[in-house]
Amino acid sequence: MTLCLKPLITPAPSLARVTKIPALNRPADGAADNIASTFLADMVAGLSKSPKQTSPKYFYDARGSELFEQIMRLPEYYPTRTEMGLLTAHAMELADFCGPNCLLVEPGAGNLAKVRLLLKNLQSPAGFIPVDVSGSHLHHAAHELRLEQPGLNVLPVCADFTTGISLPHVASDRRVVFFPGSTLGNFEPHEADRLLASFAQLAGQGGGIILGVDLRKDPAILVPAYDDAQGVTAAFNKNLLHRLRDELAAEVNPEQFAHRALYIDDLGRVEMHLVSLMAQTISLGGHSFQLEVGETIHTENSYKQDLTELVARCENLGLQAARILTDSRQWFAVLCLSVGKTT
C-alpha cells in the first residue's frame, strides 16, 4: 500500500522560531480543497494497480468518522477500550513525562476523547494543537474542549498530517506529539518509521512522543475486531465506495461488494478488502476499471506490533523508550519516547 507520505510535517528549527501561520484558527478551507483534489488522483492511481489498493485515509469523511466512532464502541473492537484504560490508569505518569508548560500536538486528532485524559492532568500546559483533515469535525471538537477547559489554549489545524503541516508559534518548555489509537499500524513499516522521524523533528531535541500501538495476538481476537457481528466495520469499508459515487461521480454500486477482513501472520497485519460480488466495471474520472468476480480492492492494513522490534526501530530513529505501559493481557502498549538528536 502506498500512503502518500511526501513532505510530512514541517520541522521546527527551534521552539522559538516556529512560523506563525495567519488565520490558523479559521477552518482551513484551502487545505480541505487540496485534500479533495488529491482524492480523485489517488483513487485512479489505486484502482490502476494490480492488485487494486487504496489508501485508508479516504475512509474518513463525516460519515466515515461517525462510523469509526461506532467501531470504537463495538464489543469486538478492543483497542480503544484497552488504550483508554491505560491512559486513565497512568494519567499522572504521562503528565509527568510531558512536564510543565508543555505544548501538546495531536496529529489525526478525531474526537479528542483520549487526549482529554491527558490534558486535564498536565501541569500549566502551553497549549494544545489538534490536527485533522476533517475541518468541521475538528472545529466542533475543539469548541467543546474550550468550553470544558476554558484556560487551555486550543489551536486546531485542519491538515492531512501525512502530507505536511505547519504549526502556529506557541512558546513552551517542551513539545510532545500525542499519537494514540494505533494509527501507526495503518502505515507500511518504512512509512511508519518516516512518520515517527517527522514527529521527532516536530517535537525537537528534548521533546517527546506518546505513542499508542496495538500488539500481536491470537487471530481469533484480531479478525472479529475488523469484522464485527453488527456490520459496522463493513459499512465503514463500503463508505469508500459511497464516497467514490457521491463525491467523484463514479459509476459504482456499493451493494455489489462485500467486506472481508483477514490476518496475515507472516506480515503481522490485519487486511481489509472490498470483494467484488460479480464481474463489473467501475467508471471514475474518465477511466474504466474492470473487476472479476471475487477480485478485491485492498483498502487497509492494520499492522500489529512486536514490542521488542518496535522499541529497536524507535532506537534507530533516536527515540528512547522512557516508559512502556501495557495492559495485563499485553494486547496494547503506550510508549513514552524521548527525542534524542534529530537529523
Q: Which residue is nearest to ligand AVI (CB)?
A: 302
CB of 187 to ligand AVI, least distance (A): 10
Taking the C-alpha atoms of residue 160 and residue 141, their distance in angstroms, rounded to an integer, is 17
Taking the C-alpha atoms of residue 320 and residue 315, their distance in angstroms, rounded to an integer, is 6
Query: Per rule CB under 6 A, is residue 180 in the interface with ligand AVI?
Result: no
Query: Per rule CB under 6 A, is residue 233 in the interface with ligand AVI?
Result: yes
Q: Which is nearer to ligand AVI, 32 or 223 (CB)?
A: 223
124 to 117, 119, 130, 172: CA distances (angstroms)? 15, 10, 18, 10
Q: Which is nearer to ligand AVI, 126 or 131 (CB)?
A: 131
Taking the C-alpha atoms of residue 62 and residue 135, their distance in angstroms, rounded to an integer, is 10
Query: Per rule CB under 6 A, is residue 185 in the interface with ligand AVI?
Result: yes
CB of 194 to ligand AVI, least distance (A): 17
Estimate the crossing angle of helix 29-48 against helix 232-248, to 10 degrees: 100
Cis check: omega of the bond before 75, within 30 degrees of 0: no
The one-character DSSP state at 305 is B
Stretch that binds ligand AVI, among 132-140, 145-153, 182-190, 245-253 (CB under 6 A): 182-190
Q: Which is nearer to ligand AVI, 69 or 295 (CB)?
A: 69
Q: Which is nearer to ligand AVI, 72 or 103 (CB)?
A: 72
Q: What x-and-dash track marks residues 22-61 binding ligand AVI by CB under 6 A?
A: ----------------------------------------
Contact 168, 126 (CB under 8 A): no
Q: Which of 183, 198, 305, 342 binds ligand AVI (CB under 6 A)?
A: 183
Query: Per rule CB under 6 A, is residue 161 in the interface with ligand AVI?
Result: no
Per the rule left: phi > 0, alpha: psi between -120 and 50, beta: everything else, 242 is: alpha
Q: Which of 162, 182, 239, 305 binds ligand AVI (CB under 6 A)?
A: 182
257 to 105, 157, 262, 267, 295: CA distances (angstroms)? 38, 35, 16, 25, 10
Q: What x-and-dash track marks residues 66-85 binding ligand AVI by CB under 6 A?
A: -----x-------x------
Query: Per rule CB under 6 A, is residue 181 in the interface with ligand AVI?
Result: yes
Q: Where are the alpha helices (DSSP H) in the chain?
A: 29-48, 62-72, 78-89, 91-98, 113-119, 135-148, 189-203, 219-225, 232-248, 307-316
Q: Give the footprint of ligand AVI on residues 79-118 (CB under 6 A).
A: 79
Q: Which is nearer to ligand AVI, 296 or 302 (CB)?
A: 302
Stretch that binds ligand AVI, among 129-137, 159-167, 183-191, 287-295 (CB under 6 A): 183-191
C-alpha cell recorded at residue 85: 484504560
Could you report how far apart the first and last alpha carbons of the chain are, in Å?
Answer: 27
The one-character DSSP state at 256 is G
43: helix, coil or strand?
helix
Q: Which is nearer to ligand AVI, 182 or 296 (CB)?
A: 182
Contact 273, 234 (CB under 8 A): no
CB of 59 to ligand AVI, least distance (A): 7
Q: What x-and-dash track marks residues 284-303 binding ligand AVI by CB under 6 A?
A: ----------------x-x-
Stretch that binds ligand AVI, among 116-124, 140-148, 175-183, 242-250 (CB under 6 A): 175-183
Alpha carbon 195 to chain centroid, angstroms: 11
By CB under 6 A, name the binding residues for ligand AVI: 71, 79, 181-183, 185-186, 226, 233, 300, 302
